């Protein structure tokens, strides 16, 4: 099956081709309780040894090239840019099938595949689409997102990294933080302040910056889990050609909104089957510690199973009803649901294990959960804090009045008094 297929390919024929492609390359995952046995640590953010991490990324890039060449690397993409031209239903079915096999993990490449590439497709010039899209989906380029700054997290429009126009392009100066996979990335989508005299949402512009450019410095950030999945990126007089600009000058907020919508979609989707596998492992843990007859544990396990299933159905419903914006603000619902589910999963594990969750008492199934428990709070921050996401839902889905910000003309105390 080549990557030049058409949307009239029926799902049954597509499934046969996809199954044949996967069956000849990777073995199937186990099922039931056996799949959870000896599976290793449960993690939300991969953080292996740097040498192992590098080797895993190279393996993932090879897998992306193989998958792309077979026609399954960009299933919904336009054929003129290298996509297969199929529907979202074909994409979901392939993801379901792929989850059944032990394919290489592409976690460190997800930002490029699910956020940067769709943004380039939406806002890039024809030359940018031709240059970047095929290369990202095929694993030839690894991309990261350079948005957050020490003074601009949830209030992303407050970015202070500057881009000053010069004769042959732009010069960038500033700092970005919490950048996933920057240590592996070839390029990054960056948002910069280009006109400090305009309102903050109006005076920013987006670019694609090559991370091997002179003046770019990447430093790892150590987490409380002990790993370093995120980075700081410093830019000192970094030159970027105007042909690398995404969208119009001072219209970067539109580009940012596209990227954030895609990022929240990625967070709420996660790898197909991941929630199911995590539930199996929690259930195995409860059986190992003989907690399955505890009425409180049983109630929480039941709630977790129902919530996981409901969140998957909610995500599928939003995807089925999505318009040209890919689902819009409604995607925030599943982002919040995923964080709540993982928080409940963490609570159940802690209730089963007690102090053993953070102490190696000799039982492998105990310490396997420590990293997961420590990582769960990050889900309330990633892709926009839960508080900001709730504001988005209230304003853009429910139609409630906009919440006053720190730069609002009417002080909040005056609104309360009124």
Residue 109 burial (C-beta neighbours within 10 Å; 0-12, 13-18, 19+): buried
**What gap in Å lies between CA 193 and CA 178, rounded to an integer?**
19
Residues making up the chain, counted from first to last: 418
Look up tokens 């000799």; give the residue: 362
Structure tokens at 349: 């594990």
N- to C-terminal Cα distance for the chain? 65
DSSP helix/strand/coil, 252: helix
Contacts of 108 (CB under 8 A, 6+ apart): 46, 53, 56, 57, 60, 142, 180, 181, 184
**28 close to 22: Cβ distance less than 8 angstroms:** no
**What gap in Å lies between CA 409 and CA 87, rounded to an integer?**
46
**133 close to 81: Cβ distance less than 8 angstroms:** yes
DSSP label of 355: G
**313 close to 258: Cβ distance less than 8 angstroms:** no
Nearest to 205 by CA among 218, 192, 214, 196: 192
Q: At what angle do helices 331-353 and 252-269 cross, to 10 degrees?
A: 40
Identify the active-site residue in 98, 121, 149, 263: 263
Q: At what angle do helices 295-321 and 252-269 cross, to 10 degrees?
A: 140
Contacts of 372 (CB under 8 A, 6+ apart): 41, 42, 43, 44, 345, 346, 349
**355 close to 364: Cβ distance less than 8 angstroms:** no
Q: Is 263 a catalytic residue?
A: yes
**282 close to 372: Cβ distance less than 8 angstroms:** no
> Which residues are annotated as catalytic?
263
């Amino acid at each position: 099956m080549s990557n030049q297929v058409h949307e009239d390919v029926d799902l049954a024929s597509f499934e046969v081709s996809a199954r044949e492609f996967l069956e000849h390359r990777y073995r199937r995952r186990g099922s039931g309780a056996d799949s959870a046995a000896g599976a290793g640590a449960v993690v939300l953010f991969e953080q292996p040894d740097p040498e192992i991490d590098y080797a895993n990324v190279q393996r993932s890039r090879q897998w992306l090239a193989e998958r792309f060449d077979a026609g399954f690397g960009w299933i919904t993409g336009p054929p003129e840019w290298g996509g297969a031209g199929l529907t979202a239903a074909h994409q979901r079915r392939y993801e379901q099938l792929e989850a059944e096999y032990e394919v290489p993990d592409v976690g460190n490449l997800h930002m490029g595949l699910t956020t940067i590439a769709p943004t380039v497709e939406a806002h890039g010039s024809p030359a940018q689409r031709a240059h970047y899209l095929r290369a990202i989906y095929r694993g030839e380029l690894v991309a990261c997102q350079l948005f957050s700054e020490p003074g601009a997290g949830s209030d992303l429009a407050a970015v202070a990294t500057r881009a000053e126009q010069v004769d042959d392009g732009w010069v960038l100066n500033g700092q970005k933080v919490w950048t996933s996979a920057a240590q592996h990335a070839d390029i990054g989508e960056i948002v910069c302040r280009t006109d400090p005299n305009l309102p903050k949402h109006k005076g920013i512009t987006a670019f694609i910056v090559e991370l091997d450019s002179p003046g770019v410095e990447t430093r790892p950030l150590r987490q409380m889990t002990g790993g370093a999945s995120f980075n700081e990126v410093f830019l000192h007089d970094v030159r970027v050609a105007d042909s690398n600009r995404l969208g119009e000058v001072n219209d970067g907020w539109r580009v940012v909104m596209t990227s954030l919508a895609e990022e929240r979609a990625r967070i709420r989707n996660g790898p197909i089957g991941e929630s199911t596998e995590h539930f199996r492992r929690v259930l195995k843990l409860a059986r190992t510690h003989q907690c399955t007859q505890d009425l409180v544990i049983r109630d929480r396990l039941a709630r977790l199973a129902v919530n996981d299933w409901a969140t998957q159905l909610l995500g599928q419903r939003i995807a089925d009803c999505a318009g040209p914006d890919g689902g819009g603000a409604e995607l925030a619902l599943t982002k919040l649901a995923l964080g709540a589910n993982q928080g409940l999963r963490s609570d159940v594990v802690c209730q089963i294990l007690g102090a053993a969750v953070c102490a190696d008492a000799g039982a492998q199934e105990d310490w396997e959960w420590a990293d997961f428990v420590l990582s769960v709070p990050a889900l309330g921050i990633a892709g926009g804090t839960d508080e900001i996401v709730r504001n988005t839902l209230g304003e853009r889905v429910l139609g409630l009045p906009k919440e006053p910000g720190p730069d609002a003309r009417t002080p909040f105390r005056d609104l309360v008094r009124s």
